[in-house]
Structures are given as structure tokens and as C-alpha cells.
Chains A and B, each alone.
Chain A
Amino acid sequence: MPRRTMIEAIRDAMDVSMERDSKVVVFGEDVGFFGGVFRVTHGLQAKYGKSRCFDAPINESGIVGSAIGMAAYGLKPCVEIQFADYMYPAYDQLTQEAARLRYRSNGDFTCPIVVRMPTGGGIFGGQTHSQSPEALFTHVSGLKTVVPSNPHDAKGLLIAAIEDPDPVIFLEPKRLYNGPFDGHHDRPVTPWSKHELGEVADGHYTVPLGKAAIRRAGSDVTVLAYGTMVYVAQAAAEETGIDAEIIDLRTLLPLDLDTIVASVKKTGRCVVVHEATLTSGFGAELSALVQENCFYHLEAPVARVAGWDTPYPHAQEWEYFPGPARVGRALVETMEA
């Protein structure tokens, strides 16, 4: 099976979708001729023409707002916001329009759009190239929120998102674009070609939204993670020797609660890990759900390892980013609690 980077896998997902359905259109800043600042849309304009893949003015609200109008017409836009940090001008369109259109019109109009945005830190991106705003989407009824962690899932989830009849926020951890990253910034990074999840089948396949994946089976403690933190958690488990069960959530909303609850009821312990800031982050929802559903099985408080409640700094990258040492400490403390 061919191996692809996450960039290639996401591009392939759009290629497959555009080939299969002439209603799929792709646009955003620098997405057309140039092929995207991360090369994710490279070649799509040459293959499908400017009517299917084109450059947009630097106006996030305009990109999402026009995509909503296209979806109301009957197209299936898959648009790009260059960095998740720059989605805020589009927040009104995403949360009040895309998310509500089906509900408020009783299905008279619908909004089958996908909004792709590179997310996450670990790249010395500073304050406006590192944010993880997923909690701002999961809090909005009517939006689905997806965060893939590997090329195989990225392609399957993106095709599923494009085919989904509702708006999907597709957050791409840019730290994982070229290879998995476990937080050991002082070691060489392995490319996806060396990783089994870099195997990406040709053609059409989907990974269903709303289904988590168990990345490492274990019996001591359940780790709930997504995106880059999946690899950090794996490294932390190896280094501490704790037999952690690591669940890659893949879709934050709808959430695969059944997989989470079954795991925590088995292990009796749970650590939640994300890059986003702690307070009111998605980890708070996960922690609350675990407590509500697994209270009598819990042998320790649910722990959260997250970014600090500060803007994402530049020089202090590795003190901010929740690396394997911090996650490992949380695993040890949870086992000792």
C-alpha cells in the first residue's frame, strides 16, 4: 500500500472527492495556482480548473460566508482557513449561520461544508500560528469537529466530512503534516514513510465521523487524546512503563462516548491530554463525561494535561507544549493517587 504524508493524504482526499462529485469545490487563500502554503491543494487547480479550485481574497468571513451560500445553492465547498488562529473573523458565519441553517429553516436549506484549518503548536509558531481552538467549535450546536492524527485517518475522515450533510470543522495538526511527533523536539523526526499509519490506500474510502480508535491497548489508565498528543501520550506510556490505554478520539463532536466509557470502566483511571489551554478547554467536557459515566469505577481523580492558560508563547515553546515528561508525570500521579 502506498505511503503518504498527511499533506499528501489530505490532498488525495480532496482529489478523490472532486473526481467523484462535481459539486465539490475547493478554495481559500493561496489555495489555487500556488497550491496552498502547506502544499495541501497542490495540483488541484491544474487538474480540475479554476471553477473548482481557486484563490480567495484575504477575508475569512467572506470565505466561509460565500461557502455557506454555495452550499445553500447545492454545491459542497471544502474551504481552507490558512491557520486556525485566523478563523475568528469567520466565527459569526461558522457559529450563527453554518451551524444553524438546517435547524432554523427546518431543513429548507442545509450547509454541507467542510472548513479545513491547520491547528496546533510545536513548530515555534508563536501566538497566531499555534492555537488549538477546538473547544470554541465543540461548544456550538450544529457543528461537527474532527481532528485526525495520521495520514490514513486524515484521508478517510476528510472524505467522510466532505460527504457529510452538515458543516464539519476539520482541524489538521500541522506539526503532524510531515511525520508523527511525540514531543521530543531534540530528536530527529521520523517521516510518515516509516510509520504504518502512513499507509494510505488509493481511491475512495472513509473513516466514519464519531468513532474513536484505540492506539495502544492497556489496563492501567485510559488516556484521552487527539492530534499530536496521541504520540506524546504513547511516548509517555513507553517511558514510564505504565500500561496506558490510549484512545485517539478523532472526532470531538459527535463524540465516541461508548469507547471512552468502556475503557475507563476497565482501567479505573483517566488522563485527558490536549494542547489547547486548560480552562474551559475540551478536556473539561471529557473529564465531566468520564466522571458522570464512570464515577463508581474511578480509583483516582480524572487528570488533565493541557497547554497553560496563557497565549501561546514563542521562546518558551517547549515549556508550554505538553510534552512526554508532563504527560508522564500525570500518568504516574494518577497511578499513585
Chain B
Amino acid sequence: MADAGMLRFHVPEPEVRPGGTPDFSNVTLAEAGSVPRPDIDVDPRTIRDMAFSIIRVLNRNGEAVGPWAGLLSSEELLEGLRNMMTLRTFDARMQMAQRQGKTSFYMQHLGEEAVSCAFRKALKPGDMNFPTYRQAGLLIADGYPMVTMMNQIYSNEADPLKGRQLPIMYSSKEHGFFSISGNLATQYIQAVGWAMASAISNDSRIAAAWIGDGSTAESDFHSALVFASTYKAPVVLNVVNNQWAISTFQGIARGGSGTFAARGLGFGIPSLRVDGNDYLAVHAVAKWAAERARSNLGPTLVEYVTYRAGAHSSSDDPSAYRPKTESDAWPLGDPVMRLKNHLIKLGVWSDERHAQAEAEILDTVIAAQKEAESHGTLHAGGKPSTREMFEGVFAEMPPHLRRQRQQAGV
């Protein structure tokens, strides 16, 4: 056998770095309406191609086309647009509040608003999301009070989590939003367990698991897929591929795999890929996967292809690792603009009404912010009691914690 020579170590690199011209020519996009919509009881083996394609509904002209179109009324779409705009405005105000020192930390959803806002509308009351820190649209779209979200962000006296959690790590059982953890991917397998429990209990509720592209590399992603596959758990396994994990491009987590959706195929899980900036497509695919779960047909893996247009967090500066104008070049555009254009095309919306809605939403968010700030911000005004620090570690406070609370003088 011939000597193959020295081995060479391979480290994937993004196409472009700061100073370069953004280039997404390698992103292949199926035409809107071109991907078929199989029955929910389809044999997973016959739709393997769907893990490598991309389901899209809105075309370049803002028209909804193909077999995944036609599920939402104009009213529902207008509500979706308002939810996305609200999330974007909420983000901008909270990002600014962080810069003003009113809180320590914030994470925006810029460019990803369609994913969580549209997904929420495919669920029923009682279903449970196991979100990451970038799915607040699930709360906005479910009518969770913005003031309560802000109270949590400010860690003030009205914070439902009593100042114990980092900003944006919300929790609301009532709104089907599982307590967010800082530890990545842990929620993915927990969602599968919740779904298993629902099946064990002969319930009709389903779970939705959420993870980002980078965190699919965590071992709990694998755990979740194994368990979901083994027990046919009623869960929708969502992967939000926004191309970036802080500074690390998605190729580091994806490696040689064609897509993140393709990861599901090895587990025998039907796996779809969808345009994450297309509100209609996200909703249609979410509904398909939710119906599969509800019909006892088992899990579905869905990859939402989107782009993290903002910084990773308030502590991050993306210009250090990617071109500043990269989000402008992103071929799937902006989810708010695309739905806006579709609604104008439908004749139920206009630039004027959009501008008016923007102003109204800003007023609403500012009013909520004022109310939240009346309860205090991180370093000023009302704050949670120091006693709260010792509560809730256990259902009943054990003797050693009582002693420590006394030592702390509270």
C-alpha cells in the first residue's frame, strides 16, 4: 500500500470573516411551494429528502404558494405580524435598558421572531415548551404580560422569580413555558421526558423541545433523540439554526452533516427543514409536527433555517468575527418585512397601517416599561427580599439553611 503521507488536521471555517464580502451563494434554497406536504402518518423513510430541502410558503412577490399555504386567516396573520413586531420592539427597549444600566444582561431575537411566534400558534393550551433563552416569542404570542417579563429582566420587587435568575430566564407553567436554564441542551431531553409522561398518563398534551445549532453538539441532544425515538414520545424537536453559536459558525457543530435536520434521520425520526423567516412556513410545519405528536405518531425533528441578525447577547460584539453587513445579505430576508409584504399583497395591510402599528406597539411597550420600572430596576428602587435568597431551595427549609439565614441577618 502506498504511503499516504502526513495526516492533516481539519478545522471548518466560515466563508467570510470581518472585512470580507458576505457570501451566501452556498445556501441552496428550494423555490417557495416546491416541497410537497406529506400526510402526517407518512413512512419516515420516504421523506428523507425533506431533511435536505427547505419548506417555504412565501415567494419573492409576497404570495403564499404551494401545499403548505392556506392554513391561516388574514386575522391570524395580522396577529402574527403584531406579535413579531412587539417582540422586536420589546427587544430594542430591553437592549437599551441594559445599556442604561437598568439590568445586567439581555439577549435579542432580531431576525428570528417568526420561529417562536408562529410555532406558539400551532400548540394547544396545556402543551409545554422547553425553550432556550431565544424563544420569548412563545410568551409574547401567548399573551404573557410584558410587564412581568420586564420585572424578571429588572430583578425587581415584582419579579416572579424573586431575583434568583439571570435576566430573560423566564418561567411560566401557566403559559406552557418551562423554566429556562443557563446550561445548554439540558431542556432537550427534559422535553422528551415530559412528553413520555404525557403518554404514560394517557393525556393528549404534547411537548416542544428547543435548541440552537451550536448546542446540537451537546450530548443531551443525542440523549433526546435516542429517547424520543425509542419511546415514540409526543414531542416536536426544534432546532433553530441561526448560523451562529456566539462567534462559532454553524459548520463547527454540523461538521460533514448536510443539515441539522439530517441528524434526525439516523434515529428514524421524520425530519423537516423549513424557512425560519417565513411565518407561514414555520406555522405550517409546526402544525404538521404537532399533529403527528398528538396523533401518537411520535416525534418530528424540525430545523428552522434563519439568521441571528443581532449580537449573541448584550455582552457580545459580532463585528469581531463576521462581516457587519452579513445579515443584510442573508437570502431569506427579514421575517417581519416578508409577512408585512404578504399582508399588503393580500390587501389587508399597508405601509401607513404598518407605521401606525409600529408607533402603537412602541407606546404599549414603553407603558409596560414604565410600569415595570415603578417596581424597581436592578440597581434602583424596589428589589426582592434578601430572605428570598434562602427560600425555595427545598420545599421545606432544612436546619442548616435556617442557621445560614439567621447568620445573614434576615
- CB within 8 Å of B: which residues of A? 25, 51-52, 56-57, 59, 61-62, 65-70, 72-75, 89, 92-93, 96-97, 100-110, 141-142, 144, 164-166, 210, 253-255, 257-258
Contacts and interface: CB of A to CB of B under 8 A. Distances in A.
Contacts of B393: 102-103, 141-142
A61, A69, A257, most chain B CB atoms within 10 A: A69
- Which are the 10 A-B pairs with shortest beta-carbon distances? A69-B193, A66-B193, A65-B189, A62-B223, A73-B197, A69-B190, A105-B179, A254-B398, A69-B194, A70-B197
B394 A69 contact: no
Interface stretch (B224-232, B298-306, B328-336, B348-356): B224-232
Query: Which one of A66, A96, A103, A141 has the greatest number of beta carbons of chain B within 10 Å?
Result: A66
A103 B393 CA distance: 5
Given A59-B223, A69-B192, A102-B394, 18 more contacts: A25-B197, A62-B189, A65-B224, A66-B190, A67-B193, A69-B190, A70-B196, A73-B198, A74-B197, A92-B220, A96-B182, A104-B161, A106-B162, A107-B392, A108-B179, A141-B393, A166-B394, A255-B400
Contact of A89 (B179, B219, B230, B399): B219
A249 to B, nearest CB: 14
Contacts of B392: 102-103, 106-107
Interface residues of B, number: 46
Nearest to A66: B193
A65 B223 contact: yes
A141 B399 CA distance: 13
Contacts of A73: 128, 193-194, 197-198, 201
Contacts of A254: 398-400
B186 A93 contact: yes
B129 to A, nearest CB: 12
Given A100-B181, A106-B162, A107-B392, A68 B230 contact: no
Interface stretch (B81-89, B91-99, B169-177, B338-346): B169-177
Contacts of A66: 189-190, 192-193, 196, 223, 227
Contacts of B189: 61-62, 65-66, 69, 93
A217 B145 CA distance: 60
Nearest to A68: B190
Nearest to A64: B189
Given A102-B392, A106-B392, A97 B186 contact: yes
Given A106-B164, A109-B179, A166 B395 contact: yes
10 contacts: A25-B200, A59-B227, A62-B223, A65-B192, A70-B196, A72-B128, A104-B169, A110-B395, A144-B394, A257-B400
Contacts of A165: 394-395
A102 B164 CA distance: 11
Count chain B CB atoms within 10 A of each CB in A61, A65, A107 and give the residue with the most: A65
B77 to A, nearest CB: 32
Interface of B: 128, 130, 160-162, 164-165, 169, 171-173, 178-179, 181-183, 186, 188-198, 200-201, 207, 219-220, 222-224, 226-227, 230, 392-395, 398-400
B400 A72 contact: no
Contacts of B230: 57
Best-buried of A97, A104, A254 by chain B (most CB within 10 Å): A104
A72 B394 contact: no
Contacts of B198: 73
Given A92-B183, A93-B186, A102-B395, A72 B178 contact: yes
Nearest to B171: A105
A105 B177 CA distance: 11
A98 B171 CA distance: 15
Given A97-B181, A101-B179, A68 B226 contact: no
A274 to B, nearest CB: 19
A114 B128 CA distance: 23
Contacts of B222: 59
Residue picked from B171, B197, B222, B399, most chain A C-beta under 10 Å: B197
Nearest to B207: A69
A165 B394 CA distance: 8
**Among B186, B192, B224, which residue has the most Cβ atoms of chain A within 10 A?**
B186
B176 to A, nearest CB: 11
Nearest to A251: B398
Contact of A92 (B178, B186, B193, B400): B186
Nearest to A61: B223
A294 to B, nearest CB: 15
Contacts of B219: 61, 89
A103 to B, nearest CB: 5
B235 to A, nearest CB: 9
Contact of A57 (B165, B190, B227, B394): B227
Contacts of B162: 106
